[in-house]
């Protein structure tokens, strides 16, 4: 017997996201340009009369039960460590309660067609979906940016991944047909129209990475070191976002080699995003595509977060008819590439990319035809 109340049942969806440009700049106060995509986490849930959260992850065929009164310990009802997939919803409950929001016991099952570990923010989609669910079930008010910030806090302080805000922001604010320009310092944002007749094609390299075990935190530390050194000549700067490319190149010789490379990527990537917004608003998809290629080269050579499979995918895509731009997306070390492709040629592009990637690497790739999509939704029944 479960402790369900004879009350409203909820179906909640929240999207994954793809980042079109602005990689590894969100934790440097820069501008990012993600889009929510039409791949989602779906939760079906009802409220319980007790303080227990019963979760069934359908895709993994795993279940767990934990108490809302025992979240600090990260254990299930039997006192065993929570499975890794359950840390995300538990973290949301923890962060909500920490801020004083009412969180109720729930009976929930969820499924996702956002590929796990591919750089499309499956974890952020889970976080935003559960935050949206608890807001609806608790009948309290919080705007989308507040929800995104709560989700980021859960990921940083509970899950233990030192990520920026972009993933949760994009999932929470998705808008059909638009990318989302976010100033990660002020949190001001605006929609930017995607070009007409252009498809977003995402190719999964099938190389999996775990952010908590990756060199993500090392690179973040390098950026902070660069700011400390550059402050001696540029005392007004607070983050690499404040350094112009001209200023950087004049002072780059004062940085250790590895720190210089990491910082150069961030400074130039921030400038690329600002230029890219102008290109999109002018309908210049070719100009935007050129910036995508430049961004990939920088992530590969300066930030060193690419891998051979991602480079192969970008190289193949760049030579196929209809491809406007291509780059790795997400934190790197595996995951996916994002490609802007003429809609009329997207079908042929996908087939050729799959075939040529298999020939080059011996690996298959899953390729997704996506659209810039809406944010989370709640339905009751």
Three-class SS of the chain: CCCEEEEEEEEEEEEEEEEEECCCCHHHCCEEEEEEEEEEEEEEEEEECCCEEEEEECCCCEEEEEECCCHHHCECCCCCECCHHHHHHHHHHHHHHHCCCCCCCEEEEEEECCCCCCCCCHHHHHHHHHHHHHHHHHCCCCCHHHHHHHHHHHHHHHHCCCCCCHHHHHHHHCCCCEEEEEECCCCCEEEEECCCCEEEEEEECCCCCCHHHCCHHHHHHHHHHHHHHHCCCCCCCCCHHHCCHHHHHHHHHHCCHHHHHHHHHHHHHHHHHHHHHHHHHCCCHHHHHHHHHHHHHHHHHCCCCCCHHHHHHHHHHHCCCCEEEEEEECCCCCCEEEEEEEHHHHHHHHHHHHHHHHHHHCCCCEEEEECECCCCEEEEC
The question of whether 167 is a catalytic residue gets the answer yes
Beta bridge partners of 46: 9, 107
Q: How far is CA 361 from CA 196, 206, 301, 312, 313, in A?
A: 33, 11, 21, 8, 10
Structure tokens, 77: 């009802």
167, 204, 284, 311: the active-site residue: 167
Structure tokens, 194: 């995607």
Residues 235, 247 contacting (CB under 8 angstroms): no
Q: How far is CA 29 from CA 80, 187, 224, 227, 237, in A?
A: 39, 10, 12, 12, 11
- The C-alpha atoms of residue 259 and residue 28 are separated, in whole angstroms, by 14
For the chain, the C-alpha Rg in angstroms (whole number) is 21
Positions marked active-site: 167
């Amino acid at each position: 017997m479960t402790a369900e109340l004879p009350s409203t049942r909820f179906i909640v969806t929240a999207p994954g996201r793809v980042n079109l440009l602005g990689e590894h700049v969100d934790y440097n106060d820069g501008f990012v340009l993600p889009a929510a995509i039409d791949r989602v986490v779906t939760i079906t849930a009802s409220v319980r009369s007790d303080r227990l959260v019963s979760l069934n992850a359908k895709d993994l065929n795993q279940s767990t039960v934990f108490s809302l009164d025992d979240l600090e310990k990260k254990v299930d009802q039997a006192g065993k460590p929570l499975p890794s997939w359950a840390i995300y919803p538990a973290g949301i409950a923890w962060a909500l309660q920490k801020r004083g929001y009412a969180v109720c016991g729930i009976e929930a099952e969820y499924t996702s067609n956002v590929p796990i570990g591919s750089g499309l923010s499956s974890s952020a989609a889970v976080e935003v979906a559960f935050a949206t669910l608890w807001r609806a079930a608790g009948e309290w008010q919080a705007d989308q940016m507040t929800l995104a910030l709560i989700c980021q806090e859960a990921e940083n302080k509970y899950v233990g991944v030192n990520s920026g805000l972009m993933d949760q922001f994009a999932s929470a604010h998705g808008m059909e047909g638009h990318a989302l320009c976010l100033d990660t310092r002020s949190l001001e944002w605006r929609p930017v129209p995607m070009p007409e007749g252009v498809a977003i094609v995402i190719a999964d390299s099938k190389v999996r990475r775990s952010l908590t075990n990756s060199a993500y935190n090392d690179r973040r530390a390098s950026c902070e070191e660069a700011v400390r050194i550059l402050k001696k000549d540029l005392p007004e700067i607070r983050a690499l976002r404040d350094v112009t490319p001209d200023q950087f190149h004049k002072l780059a010789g004062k940085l250790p080699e590895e720190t210089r490379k990491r910082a150069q990527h961030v400074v130039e990537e921030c400038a690329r995003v600002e230029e890219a917004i102008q290109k999109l608003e002018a309908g210049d998809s070719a100009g935007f595509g050129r910036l995508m290629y430049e961004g990939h080269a920088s992530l590969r050579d300066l930030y060193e977060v690419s891998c051979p499979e991602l480079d192969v995918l970008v190289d193949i895509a760049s030579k196929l008819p209809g491809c406007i731009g291509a780059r790795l997306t997400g934190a790197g070390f595996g995951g996916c590439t994002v490609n802007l492709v003429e809609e009329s040629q997207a079908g042929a592009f996908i087939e050729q990319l799959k075939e040529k990637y298999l020939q080059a690497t011996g690996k298959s790739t899953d390729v997704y035809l996506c659209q810039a999509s809406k944010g989370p939704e709640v339905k009751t029944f």
